[in-house]
Amino acid sequence: MRIRYKKWARPELEASKFYEDEPEKWKGKWKEHFKNPDLPFMIELGCGKGQFISKLALENQNVNYLAIDLIDAMLGLAKRNIEQSYKEENIEPENVLITRFDIERINLILDKVDNVERIYINFCNPWPRGKHHKKRLTHTRQLEKYKEFLKDNAEIYFKTDDDDLFNSSLIYFEEAGFEIISRTYDLHQEPIFEKNIETEHEKMFSEQGIKIKALIAKI
């Protein structure tokens, strides 16, 4: 998703208490970064403008979350959305962190001892051209990287509007040794999540009549 440069984003991020500018320093010790380090730890890859993580983290104060994206403008909007959601409930965002990092190199910032229990991947770039498939966040190559820091029995929650990406991902997960425990080609008619938080893209695609595909995979 393209987004215009926002000159305010970098200064606001650097001033934020829940933005981490040097994630490599926290590899293997992310739990120490949160007020309550004993809570389960989950991550969102490609958080975009933060509509999803701002709601998810607010509704689940018993879980610590790390949301990752590569673009300052996106993270700036995510920071503002998180602040707004928590402000409306008159509480501080103490169970969520955001950081800027290239997900293709995610093993540089996460380790097995971080005990990541779940990954959320929502409407990632489908990279439709064959030569770019390895850039997909659900590609076998990426899944093998996630396995290096996911704890035993951890899960990946994945949603997309793209048929080819979804069907290919079913193969990728199998190749990487994941078990797909739930899948659907129409999430809104066949819910597989305990509670589905609708993202901006999800709402847009649904209004266009595009069915949302989703799965839960377990390692």
The model's pTM: 0.96
pLDDT bin (cut points 50, 70, 90) of residue 3 is: confident
Residue entry with tokens 């993202």: 199
Measured torsion, CA atoms of residues 98, 150, 22, 49, in degrees rounded to the nearest 10: -20
According to the model, what pLDDT value does residue 7 have?
A: 87
Q: Which structural domains are found in the chain, ordered by start?
A: 9-218 (3.40.50.150)
pLDDT in tens, 112-170: 999 999 999 999 999 999 999 999 999 999 999 999 999 999 999 999 999 999 999 99
User: Is the CB of residue 133 less than 8 Å from the CB of residue 165?
Assistant: no
pLDDT bin (cut points 50, 70, 90) of residue 1 is: low
Question: Which residues sit opposite 43 in a β-bridge?
Answer: 66, 119
Q: How far is CA 136 from the centre of its chain?
A: 13
Residue 217, helix vs strand vs coil: strand
In the predicted structure, residue 28 carries a pLDDT above the cut 70: yes
In the predicted structure, residue 85 carries a pLDDT above the cut 80: yes
Look at residues 202, 56, 43 and name the one whose alpha carbon lies nearest to residue 120: 43
Label residues 38-70 b or e (16+ Cβ within 10 Å = b).
ebebbbbbbbbbbbbbbbbbbebeebbbbbbbe
